[in-house]
């Protein structure tokens, strides 16, 4: 009898452990339906943005929930008003892998049409800034918004300039997610207005790859009617869900999901400011440092045959010298650029297990969102495809 009970205990312990590991490995998607309650969003021709956004979010979530490897988190499932910062924090507390905010566009020019997906960033483009102003204006409906958002003025996007360094940490993955969404829109026959950058308040406090989708213009009579129809919502929801699943297959797993610092750990605690005691200044003799040797700058072009792996550390609008001091002491850094964004990579190996060690080295140096990338015969491919070789 004791042996049987021991076996039963062992069996259920292993079962619980297996289920626990499985649940922890799920891809978490935070879906955010824009606006809500007294915040109607854009209203044209009887079409109300808050209602359309919620309807599409629920449909996207329903599709994703059929996938056993995905958990869905909603910022709202009913007609309620949620503060912008709380929307991001819902995703942070859940340690979501991505944050997707869904909206409808509008323009006094009722001929404007098409869909676009935004990533967090500063922009000098007038139309991008106007889109951000329109969505950010909701903060004025929140109590004490000036204190809550540290003096942010929704009519002056430049007051968000201090956020640029933080947003660059997730820029490359955000662009990849936005690109996947726009490609799926094109495949369903929608007009694509592209992937754009703008300073959206709802995105800046989400510590993960995040995007804001403008599904189309409800100010356009034809497009607005389709967005407000059951068939139109089903179509666009399926497109968004497929794009998220495609992104998951590309970037989640194969060693890229074991992030050291979770979003919930990056949420800002309440700051307590102590007044330091007055002390006499200590004059120190300046330390004379030897100039750091500058390695040859290598633009990343994988020309070797076969498969090789690298660790992508970050993406930035700034071009940095490829010296260890700029990369937390890491050497063997390479860079690629598309003209606007510079991507920085660490290491280079044809061995996948060695690549995973390089990834852990990068994360130990503070690059918690670093991930593996792969090349085959000089062409960038997914890690999964590289592993098939």
pLDDT at 294 over 90: no
With cut-offs at 50, 70 and 90, classify the pLDDT of residue 290.
Answer: very low
Tracing tokens 């606007």 back to the chain, one arrives at 340
Rounded to 5 degrees, what are φ and ψ at 156?
-130, 85
pLDDT value for 85: 85
Residue 367: the pLDDT is: 79
Between 165 and 175, name the one with better pLDDT.
175
CB 12 within 8 A of CB 79: no
Per-residue pLDDT at 373: 85
Residue 48 reports pLDDT greater than 90: yes
Q: Which residues contact 107 (CB under 8 A, 6 or more apart)?
A: 217, 219
Residues 6+ apart with CB under 8 A from 320: 326, 327, 335, 342, 344
Asked if pLDDT for residue 144 goes beyond 70, the answer is: no
Hey, which of 10-14, 55-59, 181-185 has the most confident mean pLDDT?
A: 55-59
In terms of average pLDDT, the best of 159-168, 216-225, 329-338 is 216-225
**At residue 303, does pLDDT exceed 70?**
no
Residue 270: band (very low, low, confident or very high) from pLDDT cuts 50, 70, 90: very low
* Alpha-helix residue ranges (DSSP H) falling in the chain: 2-24, 49-64, 84-93, 126-136, 145-148, 164-168, 171-187, 201-204, 221-227, 230-251, 263-266, 352-364, 383-387
Cα(48)–Cα(29) distance, integer angstroms: 25
pLDDT of res. 10: 53
Interval 37-57 mean pLDDT: 95
Tell me the average pLDDT across 252-256.
Answer: 51
pTM for this entry: 0.62
Residue 365 confidence (pLDDT): 85
Percent of the chain whose pLDDT exceeds 70: 65
| Rounded Cα distance, 123 and 148, in Å | 24
Give me the pLDDT at residue 377, please. Answer: 84
Q: How far apart are CA 3 and CA 36, in angstroms?
A: 59
Q: Summarize the confidence of residues 120-133 as an average pLDDT.
A: 52
Average pLDDT over residues 351-377: 85
Mean pLDDT over the full length of the chain: 76
Q: Are 209 and 96 in contact (CB under 8 A)?
A: no
pLDDT of residue 312: 86
Other CB atoms within 10 A of residue 94 CB: 19
* Residue with more model confidence, 167 or 67: 67
């Amino acid at each position: 009898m004791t042996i049987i009970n021991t076996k039963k205990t062992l069996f259920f312990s292993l079962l619980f452990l297996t289920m626990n590991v499985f649940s922890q490995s799920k891809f978490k998607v935070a879906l955010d339906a824009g606006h809500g309650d007294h915040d109607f969003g854009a209203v044209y021709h009887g079409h109300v943005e808050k209602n359309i956004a919620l309807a599409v979010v629920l449909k996207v979530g329903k599709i994703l929930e059929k996938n056993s490897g995905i958990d869905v988190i909603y910022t709202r499932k009913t007609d309620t008003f949620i503060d912008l910062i709380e929307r991001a924090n819902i995703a942070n507390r859940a340690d979501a892998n991505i944050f997707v905010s869904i909206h409808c566009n509008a323009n006094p020019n009722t001929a404007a049409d098409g869909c676009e997906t935004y990533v967090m960033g500063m922009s000098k483009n007038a139309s991008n800034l106007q889109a951000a102003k329109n969505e950010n204006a909701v903060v004025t409906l929140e109590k004490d918004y000036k204190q809550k958002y540290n003096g942010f003025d929704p009519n002056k996007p430049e007051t968000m300039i201090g956020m640029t360094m933080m947003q660059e940490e997730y820029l490359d993955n955000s662009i990849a997610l936005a690109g996947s969404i726009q490609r799926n829109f094109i495949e369903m026959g929608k007009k694509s207005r592209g992937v754009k950058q703008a300073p959206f308040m709802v995105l800046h406090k989400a510590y993960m790859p995040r995007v804001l989708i403008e599904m189309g213009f409800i100010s356009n009579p034809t497009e607005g009617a389709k967005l407000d129809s059951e068939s139109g919502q089903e179509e666009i929801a399926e497109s968004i869900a497929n794009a998220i699943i495609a992104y998951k297959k590309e970037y989640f797993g194969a060693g890229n999901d074991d992030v050291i610092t979770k979003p919930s750990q990056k949420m800002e605690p309440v700051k307590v400011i102590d007044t330091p005691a007055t002390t006499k200044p200590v004059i120190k003799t300046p330390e004379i440092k030897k100039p750091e040797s500058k390695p040859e700058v290598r633009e990343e072009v994988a020309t070797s045959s076969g498969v090789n792996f690298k660790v992508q550390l970050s993406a930035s609008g700034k071009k940095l010298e490829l010296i260890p001091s700029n990369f937390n002491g890491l050497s063997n850094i390479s860079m690629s650029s598309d003209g606007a964004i510079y991507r920085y990579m660490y290491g280079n190996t044809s061995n996948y297990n060695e690549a995973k060690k390089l990834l852990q080295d990068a994360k130990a140096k503070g690059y918690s969102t670093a991930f593996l990338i792969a090349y085959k015969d000089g062409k960038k491919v997914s890690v999964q495809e590289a592993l098939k070789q």
